């Protein structure tokens, strides 16, 4: 087993073994770029180290051999005390780019004796002591695990004593004194900085291997779906120095603008500096464009490097370079991170330039990122530090006055004030406030909680599950971390990152743009899976259609009842004591529903609209039990509320998700089923008479048995007969039992629509609204590889879908199959739906873009 490869000997070994950085260095050496010599310890060495808790046998023999070759190549000696000593950098390099997540050490191999030799040989004592103080600080932080603040305090004190404004203003004598302070600080912490270069190298390699499992790296892998078992390579490279004077420097370049995607050299350069000065923001670098005037020859050289790198790798590159006494060296290159808007533009333009095919362009864009293009975003260049973070439930940015309930939201918004609704969690009672709010912030809930699902459907930015958020509703105040706020204070939130800010931050507007439209046009010939939208209002339907939705896969009729004008009539129906009272309430609700259905069908004229019958339990339309009981205890119940309290108690359920809802409610209260069916038929008939082409479908929620379907159909067909009109009727498959009985249910209906939100909850035995208490821990510990409420679980939920698809179609070859959970707008889930052979997925309007592109990507992969 070979553990270590020199850059020039590592060609064609691949990223999995060499890591991204090692692979790119080997490629650049092969292509003749000016790369300082070095070698790579493979990811296999890292995995072996992590498994055994010790370096694998033979590793250090190979390392010593490679160091000897470096000494021969450079004419320098590692740890030497005469002439120029060989110094190296030690950098991590995982197979998948994880910038900033793992550790780096520079100037390694420098000893006290070597500092003096370096000073004498270069004639620059300041450079020598600056290099040594950087090594001591980085080694102390990375290898010895000491807090950076201790070193920063000593550096600030040294600048004060010297009267220096910047680090570069410290003299050699100042820096020598600072090194003494650093070494004493390390001793005071019970540690020692090794003067032996081999101990330095061993400690650095150990630290980089260990950094694969540091908290930030684990979190990054979890967020971006990177496997834990890849390991990281370690790249040991001869140092070149950008801090030798004004003819030296360090820079970072991009072959295209990572924010906009515009073609052309983009980046920054800092004279007389080492790489971490740019990264740490110690000094302000200059745009690379300035080099065009100050050093046109260097600019042309960097621009030529950029062009050659992109031509070879056929992808936008992010490269780091150092200039040592006028000579350019490349330290690394990698595929550059970019904004979603830039990703789309780069993919499209590279295809149009003939660099890649259109199919490659489609595969290069993250489909999950597309909804973010349509919403306002926080401008990261002008944003302050966030005061808290939660789950990024609904993309987009919002700025507004914090309000603590829906009523206040409506009142303040009615006065023209932008508001952000801040709640412990949201319920259907909050719907009016949610609709009017610029953003939604909750302390509890997950990615498919009520707040998250409704916010995405509305296109309202939302951050949910903010553990640092606590509310005091009596005092009309709340706390975010260590900051106190009162109702009315301005706050800002970023639903794409989950970050929450105090005060108002600058926003930049998002739009789909011509590049996205072109990309989606290229996707259409490949896509086999249909893309519908979950929409409850004509406005949502029109927006979804503009974004390419081919119909509505889910109309949640209960959302139509939460309008303040309608809620009293829903409650009147629930509380009706006579047939006359019930009839009056049903007639009013019929009129509302008919008007709603006409608006939706007209907006989607010629496209299917799947209307789900009433699903939630009735108690959700009544005031909360705890509120009424508090008023009762205080003797504050109004006369009319006594009857309401009695009914609320009668309908109260310990676990309403598994209670009196869905088809159970419709069969026990068939008058609701009749009213909704009649309203849909009446709306359909009216539009047909206007010469339009409405295509409604009726969907039965939460079935578990074929008998439930049969009994519901019996009522529905009676209404069909009354109107002399029939519609396709299907059922949601959202209980495991329904999936397993698909063979018996399928012959009764025209379509299945998989309600994967509830199917996931019932399969896992979790509540999406309460999972926030344990899901973060589960995800950090990799108990769950992914959040199953966000990304469809293939092993179990996917297995249920596969059974239902196979057995349902076997029993009814004409059965249409769709998916209408929030998973329908998540790329991995869409690919699973494609693989199962579904006819369509349905998602929130903005996520239709994701569904369209992900469906094409799935077809290209299959």
| 648-671 confidence digits (pLDDT tens) | 788 787 777 788 889 999 999 999
Is the distance from CB of 757 to CB of 768 less than 8 angstroms?
yes
Mean pLDDT to the nearest integer, 475-499:
93
Per-residue pLDDT at 104: 82
Mean pLDDT to the nearest integer, 251-263:
87
Decide the pairing of beta strands 317-324 and 249-256.
antiparallel
Mean pLDDT to the nearest integer, 423-446:
83
Per-residue pLDDT at 510: 63
Tokens representing 49 are 């180290």
Q: What is the mean pLDDT of the chain?
A: 90
SS3 at position 540: helix
pLDDT tens column, 679-690: 999 999 999 999
Mean pLDDT to the nearest integer, 402-416:
91
Tokens representing 228 are 């834990």
Share of the chain above pLDDT 70, in %: 96
Mean pLDDT to the nearest integer, 109-122:
92
pLDDT tens column, 587-614: 999 999 999 999 999 999 999 999 999 9
User: Does residue 622 register a pLDDT over 90?
Assistant: no
Residue 808 CB-density burial (10 A; 0-12 exposed, 13-18 middle, 19+ buried): buried
Nearest one of 458, 463, 484 to 398, comparing CA atoms: 463
User: Does residue 248 register a pLDDT over 80?
Assistant: yes
User: Does residue 535 register a pLDDT over 90?
Assistant: yes
User: Does residue 518 register a pLDDT over 80?
Assistant: yes
Per-residue pLDDT at 507: 81
pLDDT tens column, 446-476: 664 668 767 765 668 899 889 899 999 999 9
* Selected residue with higher pLDDT from 579 and 175: 175
Neighbours of 736 (CB within 10 A): 17
Per-residue pLDDT at 281: 41
User: Does residue 277 register a pLDDT over 90?
Assistant: no
Per the confidence metrics, is the pTM higher than 0.85? Answer: no
Dist CA 748 CA 576 (whole Å):
34
Tally: H helices and E strands in the chain: 33, 33
Dist CA 519 CA 517 (whole Å):
5
Residues forming beta bridges with residue 266, ordered by sequence position: 254
pLDDT tens column, 823-836: 999 999 999 999 99
Confidence of residue 69 (pLDDT cuts 50, 70, 90): very high
Tokens representing 601 are 């069908």
Tokens representing 607 are 């496209």
- List the catalytic residues: 450, 820
* Selected residue with higher pLDDT from 684 and 11: 684
Q: Positive or negative, the Cα torsion across 848, 851, 857, 859? A: negative
What does the angle CA 66 – CA 242 – CA 150 come to, to the nearest 5 degrees?
Answer: 90
Mean pLDDT to the nearest integer, 716-734:
97
User: Does residue 116 register a pLDDT over 80?
Assistant: yes
Dist CA 376 CA 389 (whole Å):
18
pLDDT tens column, 51-65: 999 999 999 999 999
Q: Which of 337-351, 518-532, 763-777 has the lowest mean pLDDT?
A: 763-777
Per-residue pLDDT at 280: 44
Dist CA 487 CA 241 (whole Å):
54
Per-residue pLDDT at 448: 42
Per-residue pLDDT at 429: 67
Neighbours of 169 (CB within 10 A): 11
Per-residue pLDDT at 788: 93
Dist CA 382 CA 637 (whole Å):
51
Confidence of residue 357 (pLDDT cuts 50, 70, 90): very high
Q: Which of 193-197, 313-317, 457-461 has the lowest mean pLDDT?
A: 457-461
Per-residue pLDDT at 34: 96
User: Does residue 282 register a pLDDT over 60?
Assistant: no
Instruction: Give Dmax over CA atoms of the chain in angstroms.
Output: 104
Residues forming beta bridges with residue 400, ordered by sequence position: 491
Which run of H or E residues covers position 699?
Answer: strand 695-700
Contacts of 71 (CB under 8 A, 6+ apart): 77, 78, 86
């Amino acid at each position: 087993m070979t553990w270590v490869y020199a850059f020039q000997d590592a060609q064609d070994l691949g990223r999995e073994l060499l890591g991204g950085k090692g692979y790119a260095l080997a490629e650049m050496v092969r292509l003749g770029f000016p790369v300082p010599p070095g070698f790579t310890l493979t990811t296999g060495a890292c995995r072996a180290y992590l498994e055994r808790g010790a370096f694998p046998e033979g590793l250090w023999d190979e390392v010593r051999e490679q160091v000897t070759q470096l000494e021969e190549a450079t004419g320098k000696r590692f740890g030497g005390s005469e002439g120029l000593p060989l110094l190296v950098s030690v950098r991590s390099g995982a197979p998948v780019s994880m910038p900033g997540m793992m550790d780096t050490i520079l100037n390694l191999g420098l000893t006290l004796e070597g500092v003096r030799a370096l000073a004498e040989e270069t004639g620059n004592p300041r450079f020598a002591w600056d290099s040594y103080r950087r090594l001591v600080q980085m080694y102390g932080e990375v290898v010895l695990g000491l807090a950076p603040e201790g070193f920063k305090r000593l550096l600030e004190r040294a600048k004060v004593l010297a009267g220096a404004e910047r680090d570069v203003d410290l003299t050699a004598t100042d820096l020598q004194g600072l090194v003494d302070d650093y070494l004493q600080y390390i001793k005071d912490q019970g540690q020692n900085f090794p003067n032996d270069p081999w101990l330095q190298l061993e400690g650095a390699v150990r630290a980089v291997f260990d950094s694969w499992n540091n908290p930030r790296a684990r979190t990054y892998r979890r967020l971006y779906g990177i496997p834990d078992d890849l390991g990281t390579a370690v790249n040991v490279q001869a140092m070149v120095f950008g801090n030798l004077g004004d003819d030296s420097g360090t820079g970072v370049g991009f072959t295209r603008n990572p924010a906009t995607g515009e073609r052309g050299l983009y980046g920054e350069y800092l004279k007389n500096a080492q790489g971490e000065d740019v990264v740490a923001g110690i000094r302000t670098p200059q745009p690379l464009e300035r080099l065009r005037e100050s050093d046109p020859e260097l600019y042309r050289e960097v621009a030529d490097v950029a062009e050659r790198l992109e031509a070879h790798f056929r992808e936008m590159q992010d490269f780091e370079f150092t200039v040592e006494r006028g000579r350019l060296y490349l330290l690394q290159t990698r595929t550059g991170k970019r904004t979603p808007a830039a990703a789309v533009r780069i993919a499209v333009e590279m295809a149009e330039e003939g660099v890649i095919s259109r199919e490659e362009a489609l595969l290069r864009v993250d489909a999950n990122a597309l909804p973010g293009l349509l919403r306002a975003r926080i401008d990261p260049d002008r944003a302050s530090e966030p005061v808290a973070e939660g789950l990024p439930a609904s993309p987009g940015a919002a700025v507004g006055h914090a309000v603590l309930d829906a009523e206040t939201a409506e009142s303040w918004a009615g006065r023209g004030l932008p508001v952000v609704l801040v709640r412990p969690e949201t319920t259907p009672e909050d719907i009016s406030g949610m609709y009017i709010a610029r953003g939604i912030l909750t302390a509890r809930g997950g990615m498919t909680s009520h707040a998250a699902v409704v916010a995405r459907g509305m296109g309202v930015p939302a951050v949910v599950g903010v553990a640092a958020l606590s509310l005091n509703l009596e005092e009309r105040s709340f706390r975010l971390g260590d900051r106190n706020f009162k109702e009315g204070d301005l706050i800002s939130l970023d639903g794409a990152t989950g970050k929450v800010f105090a005060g108002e931050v600058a926003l930049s507007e998002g739009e789909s743009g011509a590049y996205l439209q072109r990309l989606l046009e290229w996707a259409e010939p490949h896509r086999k899976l249909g893309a519908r939208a979950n929409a409850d209002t004509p406005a949502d339907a029109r927006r979804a259609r503009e974004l390419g939705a081919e119909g509505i896969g889910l109309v949640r009729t209960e959302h139509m009842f939460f309008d303040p004008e309608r809620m009293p009539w829903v409650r009147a129906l629930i509380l009706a004591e006579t047939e006359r009272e019930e009839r009056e309430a049903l007639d009013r609700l019929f009129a509302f529903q008919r008007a709603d259905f006409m608006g939706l069908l007209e907006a989607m004229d010629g496209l299917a609209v799947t209307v789900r019958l009433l699903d939630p339990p009735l108690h959700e339309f009544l005031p909360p039990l705890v509120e009424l009981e508090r008023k009762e205890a205080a003797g504050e119940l109004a006369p009319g509320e006594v009857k309401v309290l009695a009914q609320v108690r009668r309908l109260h359920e310990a676990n309403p998700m598994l209670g009196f809802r869905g088809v159970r409610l419709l069969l026990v209260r068939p008058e609701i089923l009749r009213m909704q069916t009649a309203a849909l038929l009446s709306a359909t008939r009216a539009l047909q008479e206007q010469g339009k082409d409405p295509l409604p479908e009726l969907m039965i929620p939460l079935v578990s048995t074929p008998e439930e379907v049969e009994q519901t159909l019996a009522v529905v067909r009676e209404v069909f007969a009354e109107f002399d009109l029939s519609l396709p009727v299907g059922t949601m498959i959202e209980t495991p039992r329904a999936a397993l009985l698909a063979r018996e249910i399928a012959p009764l209906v025209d379509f299945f629509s998989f309600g994967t939100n509830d199917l996931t909850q019932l399969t896992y035995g979790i509540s999406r609204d309460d999972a926030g208490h344990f899901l973060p821990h589960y995800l950090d510990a990799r108990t769950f590889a992914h959040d199953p409420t966000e990304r469809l679980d293939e092993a179990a939920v996917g297995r249920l879908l596969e059974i239902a698809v196979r057995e349902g179609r076997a029993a009814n070859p004409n059965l249409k199959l769709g998916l209408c959970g929030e998973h329908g707008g998540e790329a991995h889930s869409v690919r699973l739906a494609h693989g199962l052979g579904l006819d369509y997925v349905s998602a929130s309007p903005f996520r239709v873009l994701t569904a369209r592109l992900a469906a094409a990507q799935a077809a290209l992969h299959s």
